[in-house]
Amino acid sequence: MTDIKKERGFATNTIHKGSYKDGFGSLGLPIYQTSTFIFDNAEQGGRRFALEEGGYIYSRLGNPTNNALEEKLAALEGAEAAVSTSSGMGAITSSIWPFIKAGDHILACKTLYGCTFAFLNEIKKFNVDVDFIDMTDINELKKSVKDNTRIIYLETPANPTLDIIDIKAVANLAKQNSSDTLVIVDNTFATPYLQNPLKLGADIVVHSATKYLNGHGDVVAGFSAGSKELMTQVRFVGQKDFTGSVLSAHDAFLIFRGMKTLEVRMKKHVENAKKIVEALKGNKNIEKIYYPGLSDFKNHDIAKKQMKDFGAMIAFEVKGGIESGRIVMNNVKLCSLAVSLGDCETLIEHPASMTHSTYTEEELKEAGIAPGLIRLSVGLEDSEDIIEDLLQALDKIK
């Protein structure tokens, strides 16, 4: 008799991880649409509130549907535990608040999702020092870390320029600095299918589950994952006491279902992206293409080392700046002019005026976000149709 191997494949885990039993043998994940849970007795209620006993209290603190989803994500990221939230920003803020206090220092990569950038600037009001630096250069990080640096926060690939940062090098530097220095990595663009920051030494990984993890553009959600100790702080301090960003059981069900096809979808997304990059190369109206799979892209070798593949996000800078960018976006017929990413549909947007509008003109320049930069989230349509649409829109530039 052949034994089942202990570690199963990624696709198998996306389908089977996340334990639940409803007593009826339901194949689909049940939706526990309840606000509160009944205790057997007063003593049990007391033990659960004191965290001396597992079990459910109130859906803001945990729900069986959400718990199954969290188990699935934790398994895919190689984490001990995970916390689901009602948005990606809910995950980010819930993962930062418990670990900082007045007088602490945060280092963040200079190119970030606009709302993350805005949040980290708002934190300065509470006497927390925040510096934005170029983490694609590890020497810049070495010069910037301080004795009171408590969090090093990064996105890789970064939004929207696809900057690649060496997670392992950052994690090693953080641990040399202080055992209290946490490395938090936003893994939204890569997903656990392409990259596992925790296995490279990061302490916490965050996601906007709105994107590839759900994959169908019908849910707003987030995740934080890491050690059980850190996730206890994220759930019972960051989420419970600071943000209250609780994911509904119904939305948890939708993401649980969506994640079952994560590997299949990511393969198609990436395959399409590579074909599109090839088709856009040398286009007379494109100044520069940003894609980690290009051999001359900065830190391409690091991307090869820490990622399974190069992802499905593309950015390209059109000649003629913002006016040319508007021409392209206003003339696409198949691609949808919308923010967000990771959906079945191909989405196109202008970072400087949309997702990164929280940056000043000077900050956009410092982050490398050009006025004519367009961000493309490659969908699951036939690649030939996406390419045809982009080329005809680019041809409208005079």
Q: Is residue 389 in a domain?
A: yes
Question: Quick check: 349 pLDDT over 80?
Answer: yes
Q: Is residue 379 in a domain?
A: yes
CA distances from 233 to 161, 224, 247, 254, 282 (A): 32, 11, 17, 26, 50
- State the average pLDDT over residues 305-320: 97
Here the CATH number for the domain that contains residue 125 is 3.40.640.10
Based on the fold, state whether residues 286 and 245 are members of the same structural domain: no
Q: Which of 241, 259, 277 is the last residue of a domain?
A: 259
Catalytic annotation on 60? Answer: yes
pLDDT at 232: 96
- Residue 4: pLDDT band by 50, 70, 90 thresholds? low
- State the average pLDDT over residues 320-341: 94
Here the CATH number for the domain that contains residue 299 is 3.90.1150.10
- Residue 3: pLDDT band by 50, 70, 90 thresholds? low
Based on the fold, state whether residues 270 and 235 are members of the same structural domain: no
Based on the fold, state whether residues 226 and 301 are members of the same structural domain: no
Element holding 349 (H helix, E strand) = strand 347-349
CA distances from 302 to 52, 156, 157, 229 (A): 44, 11, 11, 30
| pTM confidence score | 0.95
Nearest to 194 by CA among 313, 102, 71: 313
Q: Is residue 290 in a domain?
A: yes
- Total domain count for the chain? 2
- Residue 385: pLDDT band by 50, 70, 90 thresholds? very high
Q: Which of 242, 259, 276 is the last residue of a domain?
A: 259
Element holding 44 (H helix, E strand) = helix 42-49
> One of 113, 153, 290, 359 is an active-site residue; which one?
113
- Residue 364: pLDDT band by 50, 70, 90 thresholds? confident
Based on the fold, state whether residues 217 and 304 are members of the same structural domain: no
Catalytic annotation on 137? Answer: no
> One of 186, 251, 309, 389 is an active-site residue; which one?
186
Q: Which of 225, 259, 293 is the last residue of a domain?
A: 259
> One of 17, 48, 110, 211 is an active-site residue; which one?
211
- Measure the CA–CA gap between 322 and 319, rounded to whole angstroms: 9
Catalytic annotation on 113? Answer: yes
Based on the fold, state whether residues 147 and 42 are members of the same structural domain: yes
Which residue segment(s) compose the domain that 141 sits in? 10-259
- Tell me: the pLDDT tens digits for 227-282? 999 999 999 999 999 999 999 999 999 999 999 999 999 999 999 999 999 999 99
Based on the fold, state whether residues 38 and 139 are members of the same structural domain: yes
Q: Is residue 5 in a domain?
A: no
Residue 34 burial class via C-beta count within 10 angstroms: exposed 0-12, middle 13-18, buried 19 and up: middle
